Structure 1
Amino acid sequence: MDASTLPRVNDKALEFEVNIKDAQFNLEGKYFLRLSVQSLHTKDYSKIKIKESGVPYFENRYEGETDTVAQKESTAMVKFREKQFIFRLPKGFCMNDKNHDVHLLVEAFTRPKIGAKGRKVGEGKFAIYPRPNAPRIKVNVEPGDDFYNYTDVMSLLRTVSTDSVQMHCGRIRCTYALREVLTVKPKSPPKSPPKSPVKKPVPKQKSPELREKDDKNRSNRLEAPPTHRTITPTDSWGGDNVSINVPATPPLPPQLEGRKIPEDPLQDKDRHSFEISKNYRHVALKGKEQIDVILHGASNLPTTPDGQLPVPFGVVKSKTDDDKNVKTGATTHTSLRPTTAPSWEELVTVNFEEKTATDEVLTIIAADYPSKEMLVKYEIPISYLQPFHQYHLELVKPVKGIPNGVRTYVTITRKTMHLPKDPSSPDYLALEATLRSVQKPLQTAKGPLIAVARVIPDYYNYKNNQLLTNPRSAGVTMNSVTFPNPHPSSFSVPPRSMHGYPQISLPGRPDVQPEWNHPYLFCEERDKATMFTPSAALVLEYYEASAAMSDHFWKMVSPVGFSAVPLDKDMYKELTNNRAKQGLRIDGVPIQGTEYVTIEGKQPTVGMILRLITTNNPDSMVSTSNVDNLPELNLFPEPQGYYRTTSPDIMLITHTDDPTNTTMQDYSQDITVDSQVLMEPVREPVGPAYYLQKKVKRPMSPPLMYRVYDLARYDENQVFYGISASLHANH
């Protein structure tokens, strides 16, 4: 759309309102909707505010959720009670260029039972600004008028196959409106002429009965609460946070929780929380459930009661123990200096009784030392957490004086006694990938490195779209959850993800040669369903830990390098071999796309161990003492030495009348394939023909040879010289 046909909004704060009239879902069940504002230009939505139905004030969030409705008949219309959402978009969020397109994303979820996993069933989008079609945006509007006010039906679609075929799962009818946020200026009182002095009459004396009645009426008036809220001063948004003449906003909780905790931080000499323990377990002990929490850091922490900066440390425990004020919590070290934005990067573990775990609540606390004053507390019902899924969460709790909320950044994994078994992988339960260390010291180190691992079903496209872009996009985003009453859907796991489910490690130390010994466990049903397919790979991305935590938030910025290991059928064959029961050692996995070099000036590499888990109660490879005695798998079996992953596949050609005779002739000249010559991919020679076969195969390419056939149309020389395409083929 031409910018000349759009209103001037670059310097304006806008208000987008959605009112859901009714909905209809194709299948019976219970559903709720999640609405969020999305932008192509930015991923920072911290300045967006939202006001939901029945809430008289705006909160710092960019998404909201409806209540749950029950679709009892597929033809019936259902209505939501929590149906109105008003989003405040800050100045500069919507602009008249091609980079600031803003849209509303509506996602439909089934409502799970307590402890079960919700499922996303469909989604729809509405272009907020600019509008590509009806309703057109009004260019010239009077102050307070809408740029558009429009009612339309949105279809909710879901993708049902890898071919991107979309099916209709429901529809919603909404009214959308966009307007400018106007500044409400308080009126100055009218000037009145000076009053002339008036002689006050002497009041008459009242009887004791009348004086008692007047005192009672006056007392009732003083005790009556105010019925309306006064106009609040304007804020940086260009408008007040609440409308005029609305009920008073419920008071925010105090900055400090108001009590001391019994726990002490870890001593400097105790370093166990900075590394993976030899006793690390993939599953909980018998009769227990286990919660692993990586506390990354926090921001906007309140000051101490005497106004000093706190020296924060983290505490994780059960709500039961916290209510009793029992000293049972797992703690971190304190920050290195007084601050309201500490960085910890430490792993703590707590255990719960398996019989009562689903009724228990996980409590995460930030406290000051040495006062032990509780600074902030978050409570998460354990039943909200899906076992063996690693959650990356931004915990947000608005408090008095900090309306944007005290924020704490954590990674949480809930573990039960047994690994889940899925039909997609009947012969194994999980893949364990242990990242060991960088194998040679680095020449220039910039601090500890955090390693993020994921299973990618389509490595080629992921590499081109995510890892080879400049700048690279961050592979991990924190899901924001608002307290004190988080919604269960905030912890729902997407049923499918083309980018896998990322898992975060502790920072690898020392700086010059990071060592992790971190055991990743991939047991998600989606991950196992896409493992060991032709284009699947295990991808590791490396991030500088020092760049993640700032004074305002914890955020992965951009990876400084990446590694990849193929998870194709050849790898499955290797892992299911008898020699690999205890695991396969893989050395020399290159760190690609990095400026780091070793002290020898070469490309850095890492060492790994891969193992298929076939028992539901496995031990971790970290506890294995004889790692170097494990069988080694060579990913780069080139006789000449190091094989660069940017090299092409080298092909050979042969002609044979005997399918069992696969002796190849090596041709080094570049040739191209005539368009009339047909080539068929095969796994092995299947008959008399000419074959193209890979002499040196890249680890990520299919292990195929190609049969040149239709020999009846050519004699031997015509076929050979008709292949004029390069034997150096890139696939």
Structure 2
Amino acid sequence: MSPRKVEDEDLRFSCELDETIFNDTGKHYVRISVISKAGREKLSKVSVTVGDGGKTENKPTAVTDIVQLTENSKDSPIKFARNKFEFTLPKGTCSEDPKQALILLISVFKSDPSTNKGVKVSGANFDIYPRSVAPLAKLDGKHQELYLHDGLITFTRTLKEEGIQVHAGKTRFSACLEWVREIEEDKPEKAAEENDDKEKSEDEVKDKEEPKEEKDKKTEEEPKKEEDKEKEEDKDLESPRRIGGHTGRGNTVAKAGHVEVLIIVHAASLLPKLPDGAIPKPYVIGRGKGKSKFHGQSDPRVTHASLRPCLAPSWEELVIVEIKTKDVKKEAVHLLIVDEYTKAVLLEYELALAYLKPFHQYHLDLVQVSN
């Protein structure tokens, strides 16, 4: 099949906000908007449908329902009733040109009790098209979906005085971009299917003519082969190094004479390959300046390794680094992304503790600058 062009066809973008957490009290709602770097004119024919079988409106934006959060519920997952959105993107809306990129703007609003109007408090963005990180779009003409995405999206807000972004909540977010026109089967593919059916019939005839003893022998061997295959697949899913995997903690204070730095490692993208060109199975280590010994699966300084080799892993795990109080001003937290098999360090980042405030949340995008 020849590649299809997004500029020449209608597309459908669907997204869903599943479990959502906000770090603040009050009445909250989320506005979902499709925006284009090329301007609003590009979105004049975009329509949206909220929910399954809902009313379709000719506009590029929609809102969820309102949820009330209290001190007891503000850090607990909630689910909106209006949480599914389907945007129809007419021909010409999407483009391969980054200057005409299509972006989903996820804005969190909080109702102001004095005016009863919504005030934007945090938000996040998602690149609809084109995409420069995983999941990348498939334009080979063999898939109905250009891409499928499922993961966590973090809401951030900017502190006015400090001018930095901090974590304000998160949501389990899924998205799908697909062609409206269904894939048409090519004649060569139909011919191939007919050949497969013909070969299958010949195998069935051959099976009937086969001696009973040989047939029974094969029947005994086949389940064994299937069982061995399943074991190999299970083994492939297991990571020999299942260290860390911490998503929370039991205690709330560090031990005497020490401070703790808690780091939620979300994901990485565009990781380098190994020197031999192989794809790594990355995991993250957090430590101070000195070298440390790690203590197996109970060690809170290490995440698990990705299930399969990849260059855009996702962890969503808590790494806890312990530093002596007397060394705080001169110490730094080192985050290392390491390959599970070769133990080669793919990337390393250093965060000087002297610049961090106690009990303060920071949302950081760590970038490795190439020489």
* Normalised-by-shorter TM-score class: 0.3 to 0.5
Q: Which of 1 and 2 has greater Rg?
A: 1
Give me the TM-score of the superposition, normalised by structure 2: 0.45
Give me the TM-score of the superposition, normalised by structure 1: 0.23
**More helix per residue:** 2
